[in-house]
Amino acid sequence: MKNTTITFDLDDGSEALFEVLEETKINGVNYLLVVSAEDNEDEALILREDKLDENEIVYIPVEDEQELQAISKVFLELVDDISFE
């Protein structure tokens, strides 16, 4: 999935495009490092894959501070030109 563009359906009915910079699996959980494909911002998001059922997967932004710090360290090792604030 790396270096691909994915579309997310937002709660308000609109769509957002994101470019996947990197992905990793930690403790059986898939994580994506993405940036907006529509904006020229350098802001990256880390998304966690959650399976709702066999046929439906959702990606949720990681908001838990401990989880975010741990996953950020992994992505920093995988990607040279990304910085997290």
What is the spatial distance between Cα 81 and Cα 63, in angstroms, rounded to a whole number?
22
Contact, 83 vs 75, CB < 8 A? no
pTM above 0.85, yes or no: no
Specify which residues 50 forms β-bridges with: 58
Q: Higher-confidence residue: 7 or 70? A: 70
Q: Higher-confidence residue: 52 or 62? A: 62
What is the spatial distance between Cα 21 and Cα 79, in angstroms, rounded to a whole number?
8
- For 5-61, what is each residue's pLDDT tens digit? 888 887 898 988 889 989 999 999 999 999 888 876 677 889 999 988 888 888 888
Dihedral sign from CA coordinates of 85, 68, 76, 57: negative
